[in-house]
Amino acid sequence: LIDSGSTHNFLDIQVANKKYGCKIEEREPLSVAVANVSKLTISFMVKGFTWSIQQTTFTSDMLLIPLGFCDLVLGIEWLVTLGDITWNFSKLTMDFKVHDKRHVLRGSPSTGVKTAKKQQLNKALGDGVHVSMLQLCEEEGGLLQFCNYSCCSTIIIGGNGPTVKRV
């Protein structure tokens, strides 16, 4: 994942340990804010991690965190090493040159909105996945409608899925 909103580069701690067998080093604890606005304290890193994109090898230090959804996140720390970058968000492309070799990365097109069953949502939350958007719906007369969650006092996500308690 390439993330211009991340200051640092991150590698999934399980991937570093089990998949790549990286030499994991302790570092001075660093507190970072993550996408869901919580803070993580990072105490481990891999120095000189090497990977390839389109037959070009890159090396960067990687901070270790539990990502779960991907192996690594390349942030500003890596992006600044590329020099000029051309982004086209409508085509989902990123164009840059490294060692006089042009690279064009293409993003995966969005598949649109996906729904999850209660069991899938509960499993994901139990596995430590952070949900960044949740649209609550109510069933009324056999039809689903958007829930006006501004009138809710609490939203509880538990064993039976989201439960809305009205004010």
pLDDT tens across 28-47, in order?
A: 999 988 766 678 889 999 99
DSSP letter at 129 equals: P
- Cα 83 from Cα 18, distance rounded (Å): 33
Cβ-proximal residues to 97 (8 Å cutoff; 6+ apart), any chain: 82, 83, 84, 103
Please determine, for residue 50, whether its predicted confidence score (pLDDT) is greater than 50.
Answer: yes
Q: Is this prediction's pTM over 0.85?
A: no
55: pLDDT strictly greater than 70? yes
Where exactly are the structural domains of the chain? 10-106, 118-166
What is the Cα–Cα distance from 151 to 131, expressed in whole angstroms?
21
Mean confidence (pLDDT) of the chain? 77
Question: pLDDT at position 90, please?
Answer: 87
* Greater pLDDT, 135 or 72: 72
Provide the token pair at 143. Answer: 């039809």
pLDDT at 156: 46
In angstroms, how far is the first alpha carbon of the chain from the final one? 41
Secondary structure letter of residue 20 according to DSSP: S
